[in-house]
Amino acid sequence: MEVYGLLGNPVGHSLSPPMHEAAYDHLGLDARYVTFEPPAEAGARAVESAGTLGVAGLNVTIPFKQDVLGAVDPDDLAARIGAVNTVDFGTDPPTGHNTDATGLVRAFEHHDVTLAGRAVVVGAGGAGRAAAFALADRGMTVDIANRTVASAEALAEDVTGAGGTATAHPLDTLGERLADADILVDATSVGMEEDRSAVPRDGLHADLAVLDAVYTPIETRLLRDAADAGARTVDGAWMLLYQGVEAFERWTGHQAPVAAMNDALRSSLEA
Ligand code: NAP
């Protein structure tokens, strides 16, 4: 039996176990997906221990995504983002990947959204970094707006240094930035468990495709405002689904049963 898992603290309410186990059941794979919650300072050590114990693959979440970089061989994208959310022990040394970035792209693709033109990314934390690099890698011009402008500036500099096109902006200029934007990604935690949006309603318009990384609740204030403005919307569960799909396919070599994983994820979110 293969063992996969999630490393984080806390991981108690993670949606990844039901999503991955639905895929194993669907394909008849002899595998389990479990959660590991080591102390906050033990991230890199925990990855090494998991490898020694024969764990085949790990997802990594808060607060370990940066610490784990030192315990694996990160691919180019994970190294540029500065965070790993997927470890593959099927290689020697184990490799680190960032499927938040690739998951975001696949979430848009699932909705037939063309990633071209101008993107606005709100937020410059882990999800914001993944989004900015993913969209810049697609050739998009990326405006990064963040409450702490220095973090947006650092991210824009990193993206530009890696060959992309990005600029930093304060949150109160979002309206202007959105006027000729094609894509909006909200990568802040605003709207999580609260009916608030970091994006002013009147900046939203019908030519936008909007993805909110927040998935609790599924239908955030931002997504409601965006739908009212005629924009296409992609909820955060699609990004969560596709980061899991990417990890599953890397680990197992099988094409993921996306519909089964999506059903399991959405049922768990509703429960
Ligand atoms: P993080 O690294 O802690 O970053 C949080 C971001 O939110 C920062 O840019 C922060 O700005 C901003 N922020 C927080 N409170 C704010 C407020 N009151 N007003 C304006 N901005 C505020 O967190 P993260 O890992 O990037 O996660 C961000 C969100 O994305 C979370 O809801 C997380 O669940 C979600 N996420 C979803 C997926 C998915 O697969 N759907 C994957 C990863 C993350 P400052 O820099 O100014 O603090």
The model carries a pTM of 0.96
Is 80 exceeded by the pLDDT of residue 69? yes
What residues are labeled active site?
Answer: 65
- The answer to which of 147-161, 187-201, 253-267 has the lowest mean pLDDT is 187-201
Tell me how far the alpha carbon of residue 90 lies from the centroid of ligand 1, in angstroms.
31
pLDDT tier, 7 (very low <50, low <70, confident <90, very high otherwise) = very high
**Is 89's C-beta closer than 6 angstroms to any atom of ligand 1?**
no
**Residue 56: which residues within 8 A CB-CB, separation 6 or more?**
2, 3, 4, 31, 89, 90, 251
Task: Kindly give the residue spans of alpha helices, DSSP state H, lying in the chain.
Answer: 16-27, 43-52, 76-81, 99-110, 126-137, 149-161, 174-178, 221-228, 236-252, 258-270
**CA of 147, closest atom in ligand 1:** 47
Q: Which fold has domain 2-97+238-270?
A: Rossmann fold (3.40.50)
pLDDT of 10: 93
Tokens for 198, please give them: 């970091």
Is 80 exceeded by the pLDDT of residue 27? yes
Average pLDDT over residues 197-205: 96
pLDDT of 193: 77
Tokens for 225, please give them: 């405002």
State pLDDT tens for residues 111-126. 999 999 999 999 999 9
Intervals of CATH 3.40.50.720 along the chain: 101-234
| Atom 32, ligand 1: residue with shortest CA distance | 189
Tell me how far the alpha carbon of residue 130 lies from the centroid of ligand 1, in angstroms.
11
pLDDT tier, 271 (very low <50, low <70, confident <90, very high otherwise) = confident
In CATH, the number for domain 101-234 is: 3.40.50.720
pLDDT of 217: 94
Average pLDDT, the chain: 96
Nearest CA-CA partner of 1 in 67, 80, 54? 54
Tell me how far the alpha carbon of residue 190 lies from the centroid of ligand 1, in angstroms.
7
pLDDT tier, 194 (very low <50, low <70, confident <90, very high otherwise) = confident
Average pLDDT over residues 159-168: 97
Average pLDDT over residues 72-97: 96
Intervals of CATH 3.40.50.10860 along the chain: 2-97+238-270
